Amino acid sequence: MKTLSFVALLAACGLFTPLALAADATALKGCDAKKANLQTQIDYAREHNNSHQQAGLQKALDEVNAHCTDASLRQEREKKVAEAKHEVAERQADLAEATKKGDADKISKRQAKLAESQKELQDAMGELDK
């Protein structure tokens, strides 16, 4: 789980580009794809003399090598889908409550949050078969 958080942090900081990595791992799935993505990022960090990023990515790769199995990765992804479904259900209930009260501002905010949760669910479901 730490590996996913670390990679997500790198993505949020813009320290690597997922599009550049996608081409490398299109044929790979599961842990192999995860390892290939991390190795690509390590190579990129090395090329750009970013030793701190390289060290962090190497630690993440070591964790994947030590602990990742396709079954555990699939289970993690299924858990993420279940959590996203739960979040969508909560957001739908929040929207229904705001609609019942008729507060246009709250309705708009709840619709935006629901759309965001639905996008997260869609993304999580897309990760299942990777």
Exposed, middle or buried by CB within 10 Å (0-12, 13-18, 19+), for 31? middle
For residue 90 the two structure tokens come to 């909560």
Strands of 1-130, DSSP E? none
| Phi, psi values for residue 13, rounded to 5° | -80, -5
Domain boundary among 41, 68, 95: 68
Q: Provide the pLDDT confidence category of residue 26 given band limits of 50, 70 and 90.
A: low
The answer on 46 and 25 residing in a single domain is yes
- Structural tokens at position 63: 């964790």
pLDDT number for residue 130? 78
Note the pLDDT of residue 37.
94
- Same domain for 79 and 93, yes or no, is yes
Residues 58 and 87 in one domain: no
**Rg of the Cα trace of the chain?**
18
Q: Which domain holds residue 78?
A: 72-127
How many domains does the chain divide into? Answer: 2
Do 79 and 45 share a structural domain?
Answer: no
Cβ 81 vs Cβ 121: under 8 Å = yes
> Considering the chain, what is the average pLDDT of its residues?
85
pLDDT tens, residue by residue, 77-129: 999 999 999 999 999 999 999 999 998 999 999 999 999 999 999 999 998 87
Read off the pTM: 0.64
Residue 57 sits in the same domain as residue 112: no
- Which residue, 26, 42, 68, sits at the end of a domain? 68
58 and 106 fall within a common domain: no
Q: Are residues 85 and 28 both part of a single domain?
A: no
Whole-angstrom distance, CA of residue 130 vs CA of residue 128: 6
- 122 vs 22: CA distance, rounded Å: 18
